[in-house]
Structure 1
Amino acid sequence: MQRERPTALLIDFDGVLRHWDPELTAGVERRHGLPEGSLLRTALEWSRAQPALTGQISHAEWMAEVTRALAEQTGDPERARVAVEEWERDRGAVDPDVLGFIRELRAGGVRVGLATNATDLLDADLAALNLVDELDVVINSSVVGVHKPAKDYFHEACRAVGALPKQVLFVDDDDRTVRGARAAGLSAHRWTGPHDLTYLRAAFTA
């Protein structure tokens, strides 16, 4: 059965609308003598990241935990502190093609929501990247209290964007999250790069 044309878009932040330069992180690690990949590996360890992504602890508390873990790994608390502070100064960059697509949809009357697993730093990041006025709604896991790919998260996101799940197209770069969105009744597309915009534009005009 063919699905109806979507009336709303939910789009992921990191990996779709915002991108990070891995060389910047690698440069911080080299300058401070940290093992390659240790910053992201330590920060994204699920037992450490999950409380921040569900609003149980603040972003600052999460980074303090990352600093403590790196200090234990290196035996040098000061080096760990300085490295994390430098790493934190990079707030990523907006993908201009994705932002252009969002603007096209909104100009045509389609509501667009940012659907992201994030911390309480998200509002500051959106302001720093000049994105505050580029979205109709923001669904932040640390505010909702549950993270993607939970069904409750997607139902809350659909409510926020003002559409039924069957009317929403969700875009994310993570397979598990895309599967979760489909299980919640949304259409979902696995993002692989700007060439996907041809398909996404067609989904809203077909």
Structure 2
Amino acid sequence: MPMSHALPFDAVLCDLDGVIRFYDTAEVTRLEREAGLPEGTTAAIGYAPETDLPLLLGQITRAQWTRTIAQGLGSHVSSSQAQALAHAFAGAGSRADEAVVGLLRQVRERCPLVVVTNAPVWLDDDLAVLGLADLADSVVNSSLVGVAKPHRRIYEIAAEQAGARPDRCLFVDDRQENVDAAREIGMATVLYRAVEDLKAALAPVL
């Protein structure tokens, strides 16, 4: 239910990766060094739109994504190295930023909180492992709704689930193109770089 307009916004829509959740890439980095690859090579292949977007739209499985990453690495390293890197990347563990989680749990006591994320179909399992299954009122997952940020529709879906008009939502994300898209439909926005950015934006309700 929307809050009173005494608050600057009626709902908070928050990205997951790069704001709440962060991946442990140490093993991938170690394998890249062993293979003589520049650090970040695997991520560049794994997150390239042609590799990543089908996963984020629910069109391919984790195994298919992993195979595609290994194929992309195949021209750089041996087959066994490519396989090891792809599996390490696709299966990397993650952690939640407890400072951010704490702020979001506080704000949820005052207004609806919706996580808006480009994520694979197994996201719910990941959130349960991190203890975040109950963090938000709802989760808008690109692979389940069939549209990914920065497409306008995913922001509209998130606002609908929050029960708020887009111009009464605060949207938080670490990617400029996602923030710009939210702003275009009237949302207040925060380009996340550090927890202080979130604290400042949420101060009126906290």
TM-score computed with the length of structure 2 as normaliser: 0.89
Pairing 1:19-98 to 2, within 5 Å after superposition: 19-74=22-77, 76-98=78-100
Shift of 1:43: 0.6
- The DSSP-based 3-state class of the residue aligned with 2:140 is strand
Say whether the 8 Å CA contact 1:6–1:203 is kept in structure 2: no
Say whether the 8 Å CA contact 1:4–1:167 is kept in structure 2: no
Shift in alpha-carbon separation, 1:3–1:55, aligned structure 2, 3 A:
farther
Shift of 1:65: 0.6
How well do the aligned residues superpose, as a CA RMSD in angstroms? 2.1
Q: What is the one-letter code of the residue matched to 1:95?
A: D
1:56-98: CA deviation from partner (whole Å, max 9, x where unpaired)? 2223311211112112332x22221122222333222101111
Shift in alpha-carbon separation, 1:22–1:176, aligned structure 2, 3 A:
same
Query: Structure 1 unaligned runs (5+)?
Result: none
- The DSSP-based 3-state class of the residue aligned with 1:134 is coil
- The DSSP-based 3-state class of the residue aligned with 1:13 is coil
Say whether the 8 Å CA contact 1:10–1:169 is kept in structure 2: yes
Query: Structure 2 unaligned runs (5+)?
Result: none
Pairing 1:44-193 to 2, within 5 Å after superposition: 44-74=47-77, 76-108=78-110, 110-193=111-194
When structure 1 is superposed on structure 2, of 78-87 and 161-170 the one drifting more is 78-87
Say whether the 8 Å CA contact 1:173–1:192 is kept in structure 2: yes
Show structure 1 runs of 4+ deviating over 4 A. Answer: 21-24
Shift of 1:179: 0.7
Aligned residues: 202
1:9 paired to 2:16: no
When structure 1 is superposed on structure 2, of 49-58 and 171-180 the one drifting more is 49-58
1:152-194: CA deviation from partner (whole Å, max 9, x where unpaired)? 1110111122221122111001111101001122111111101
Shift of 1:24: 4.4
Shift in alpha-carbon separation, 1:142–1:24, aligned structure 2, 3 A:
same
Q: What is the one-letter code of the residue matched to 2:83?
A: R
Quote the Cα distance in structure 2 between the aligned partners of 1:59 and 1:194. 31
Percent identity reads 33
